[in-house]
Amino acid sequence: MSRRGCDHYLLGAAVTLVSIGVVMIYSTTSAISLKTYGDSYYIFKKHLLWVGVGGIVMFLARYIDYHRIRVFTYPLLFISFFLLLIVIIPSVGTKVGGARRWLRFGGFSFQPGELAKVSIIIFLAHSLTKRRDELKEFVQGFLPNIFVVGLCCLLILVEPDLGTAFLIFVVSMFVMYMGGVSILHLIGLVGVISPMAYFAVFNVEYRRRRIMAFVDPWKDPLGSGFQIIQSLISFGRGHIAGVGIGEGKQKLFFLPEAHTDFIFSVIGEELGLIGSVLTLSIFFLLVARGIRISLKAPDLYGKYLAFGITVMLALQIVLNICVTIGLFPPKGIPLPLISVGGSSLVVAMGMIGILLNISEQVR
């Protein structure tokens, strides 16, 4: 194994995406900031602060040998589970939009589900490496891993946050498959989980409405289909070159969550097809470099860690963009490195830092 500089393509892609996010948050939030807080720069200044925190976390993760992270596998897991437990307590967690997902500290909020994403990836990388000779066995190889993943998903579902639970479950399946867990065990798990997932979606009224809106948003254009319709209008107004940064109209209280879940719709309107394709190209470069880092990692732990992080980021990107263009029901999943900051931005930048550290160590 030898050391070299970190993957500058990955670093450049990450910095570019964060920069695009800063510009688009500045463009998107002035009206809502003025109406909500009396300061047109309030959300933008808060986002800049989170970018600074995320930059520090990425810098630290970049220069701390990723092997040292393994020591903190179970403490991180314990902290994540503890926070997921206390956030559902009414007197502790903050309820927004019918879900209790946030812990508030002064003027800032933290979402424990974001920490759980990276904690589960670190745990699986450690466990799959440790149990590499037992992974085909049900009791020793499969059961311990799926128990931890299942408990994490269950705690997140209680909030409720189906989107994050879905993300963690799917990424865990990919990582376990790559690690060598029996494909029959994974298929059997999907067979058991599928009826429960169907019940979780169609037995809850607001989730059922979202599915129906996804199928035919024009059936309820002023209700459940409003978000998707306004998002599609954003892309339609953007045409090829966009209306220009700051000139978009959909963000002016037409498009809900324009600075969070639907930031890509604003990119489509203000930067047009050209800006959208360029943004997607940078995301593609980031994911491609992550896969390359996983393939060239010096050991199994680094391989699984890089693969899990890359799949987590890639799946979030795909799901968020599919929601904005009407190919997937709204799930409250932010666009990594671009959506308005907070715990999601800090965790995403921290994961990029880990990838950069792994990229320094090659076979």
Ranges under pLDDT 70 in the chain? 1-4, 97-98, 107, 206, 212-214, 362-363
Q: How many domains does the chain have?
A: 1
- Identify whether the C-beta of residue 57 lies closer than 8 Å to the C-beta of residue 337: no
Q: What is the pLDDT of residue 321?
A: 94
Q: What is the pLDDT of residue 3?
A: 56
Q: What is the tens place of the pLDDT at every residue in 222-266? A: 777 888 889 999 999 999 999 999 888 888 878 887 888 899 999
Q: What is the pLDDT of residue 4?
A: 63
DSSP letter string, 269-334 = HHHHHHHHHHHHHHHHHHHHHHHHHHHH-SSHHHHHHHHHHHHHHHHHHHHHHHHHTTSS----PP
Residue among 151, 144, 187, 143 at smallest CA distance from 168: 151
Q: What is the pLDDT of residue 209?
A: 72
Tokens of 137: 């066995």
DSSP letter string, 218-242 = GGSTTTTTHHHHHHHHHHHHHTTT-
256: left (phi over 0), alpha (psi -120 to 50) or beta: beta
Q: What is the pLDDT of residue 203?
A: 74
Q: What is the pLDDT of residue 183?
A: 92
Domain housing 60? 2-362
Residue 256 sits at φ, ψ, to 5 deg, of -65, 145
**Cβ-count burial 95-107 (b if 16+ within 10 Å, e if not):** eeeebbbbbeeee
Angle between helices 73-86 and 112-130 (to 10 degrees): 150
Q: What is the tens place of the pLDDT at every residue in 120-138? A: 999 999 999 998 888 888 8
Q: What is the pLDDT of residue 233?
A: 92
